[in-house]
């Protein structure tokens, strides 16, 4: 029996042997068959039919009818691959659970992951949204947000701040009252850019034109993060705040100081603002936990300066963001408390 090279290639790519493909295809084409009939129709040696059938039964692709001689039947592709997908999903979940248990003490090497498949790129964004802890920044047209709406909602519910740069006329009612959401009107929306806790960036090129196979990447290289961070700083300067939806005044998280300082600038005169941060001491290089009251701020975006003054029991310190140089501390983990 002839089988198309396309079918053979597709199934062998999924890990099926040639004999498994021929057996399954034979049963699909001819219906219920005995081992002898399978051998004659597929060209598989008779002594290899039984172990091949056993393998396909274990995968959930073939069933056995009790009779003499025994008859074998194939599940339709829709049923067989539903089982296969469930098994793969279960394996994926177990791998993710096991991965969470592994504690890697060494600093992870930076990497970059490239794709031209839009579904894969969207999955990267969803995955990063689901593991973010402090703040996600999304520069995206409205249509793309529909793809990741559920993940954005879950992030907001977990206390992650969502800072969104998008079109002015956009319905955000589904996101309101869920968490801390800031929306800015921005016009340069050809690409999607997502930054997650300052540790990784995802770029999907030309998404505004809805291409089928947009070049996309996720990166953790500091140089690439710095480049995208610099772009978002420029976007911040050019954008207009159109929505501030603060629903967790006692837990307002940021990884960008310019977003944190913007909130401080607008609320310091009418609120007491406290901060809890995890930061690197720029003198010693040590990572420290700092708590205190915010007593001032500096904003000079043209010069690349945005920081705030934190009064602690050890003194008043200037807190800067990613790639800080002039400040006392550099941080990407900021928690503001407005009272």
pLDDT at 252 over 70: yes
The pLDDT of residue 146:
86
User: Which of 117, 121, 166 is closest to 145 using CA atoms?
Assistant: 166
| 3-27 residue pLDDT tens | 888 889 999 998 999 999 999 999 9
The pLDDT of residue 1:
66
| 34-50 residue pLDDT tens | 999 999 999 999 999 99
Q: What is the CB neighbour count within 10 angstroms for residue 262?
A: 21
Q: What is the CB neighbour count within 10 angstroms for residue 138?
A: 22
User: Which of 148, 129, 193 is closest to 166 using CA atoms?
Assistant: 193
| 59-96 residue pLDDT tens | 889 999 888 899 999 999 988 898 888 888 899 889 88
The pLDDT of residue 107:
64
Tell me how far apart the alpha carbons of residues 24 and 77 are, in angstroms, rounded to a whole number: 10
Q: How confident is the model at residue 331 (pLDDT cuts 50, 70, 90)?
A: very high
Find the helix or strand (DSSP H, E) in which 191 lies. Answer: none
SS3 content of the chain, % helix, strand, coil (to 5): 40, 30, 30
pLDDT at 105 over 60: no
Q: How confident is the model at residue 137 (pLDDT cuts 50, 70, 90)?
A: very high
Q: Would strands 273-281 and 329-338 be described as parallel, antiparallel, or unpaired?
A: antiparallel
Q: Which two tokens stand for residue 34?
A: 């005995």
Q: Catalogue all structural domains in the chain, each as residue range(s) with its CATH number.
A: 5-80 (1.10.10.10), 112-245 (3.30.870.10), 252-338 (2.30.30.690)
User: Which of 194, 153, 209 is closest to 177 using CA atoms?
Assistant: 153
Question: Which of 161-170, 220-229, 281-290 has the least mean pLDDT?
Answer: 161-170
pLDDT at 224 over 90: yes
* Angle between helices 46-59 and 35-42 in degrees, nearest 10: 100
CA-based torsion, 35, 37, 43, 47: positive or negative: positive
Tell me how far apart the alpha carbons of residues 109 and 124 are, in angstroms, rounded to a whole number: 18
Q: Which two tokens stand for residue 240?
A: 């207009």
């Amino acid at each position: 029996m002839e089988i198309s090279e396309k079918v053979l290639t597709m199934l062998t790519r999924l890990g099926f042997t040639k004999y498994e493909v021929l057996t399954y295809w034979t049963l699909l084409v001819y219906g219920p068959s005995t081992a002898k009939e399978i051998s004659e129709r597929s060209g598989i040696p008779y002594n290899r039919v039984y172990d091949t059938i056993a393998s396909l039964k274990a995968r959930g692709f073939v069933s056995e009818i009790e009779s003499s001689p025994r008859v074998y039947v194939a599940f339709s592709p829709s049923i067989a691959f539903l089982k296969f997908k469930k098994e793969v999903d279960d394996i994926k979940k177990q791998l993710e659970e096991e991965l969470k248990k592994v504690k890697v003490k060494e600093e992870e090497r930076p990497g970059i992951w490239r794709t031209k498949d839009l579904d894969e790129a969207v999955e990267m964004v969803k995955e990063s949204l689901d593991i973010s802890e402090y703040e996600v920044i999304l520069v995206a047209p409205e249509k793309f947000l529909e793809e990741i709406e559920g993940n954005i909602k879950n992030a907001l519910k977990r206390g992650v701040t969502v800072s969104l740069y998008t079109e002015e006329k956009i319905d955000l009612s589904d996101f309101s009252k869920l968490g801390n959401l800031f929306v800015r009107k921005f016009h340069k929306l050809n690409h999607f850019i997502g930054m997650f806790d300052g540790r990784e960036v995802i770029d999907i090129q030309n998404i505004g034109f809805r291409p089928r196979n947009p070049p996309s990447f996720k990166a953790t290289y500091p140089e690439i993060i710095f480049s995208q961070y610099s772009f978002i700083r420029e976007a911040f300067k050019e954008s207009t705040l159109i929505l501030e939806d603060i629903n967790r005044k006692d837990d307002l998280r940021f990884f960008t100081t310019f977003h944190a300082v913007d909130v401080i600038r607008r609320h310091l005169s009418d609120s007491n603002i406290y901060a809890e941060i995890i930061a690197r001491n720029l003198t010693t290089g040590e990572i420290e936990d700092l708590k205190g009251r915010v007593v001032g701020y500096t904003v000079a975006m043209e010069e690349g300066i945005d920081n705030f003054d934190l009064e602690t029991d050890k003194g008043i310190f200037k807190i800067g963001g990613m790639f800080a140089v002039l400040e006392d501390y550099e941080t990407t983990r900021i928690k503001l408390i407005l009272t």
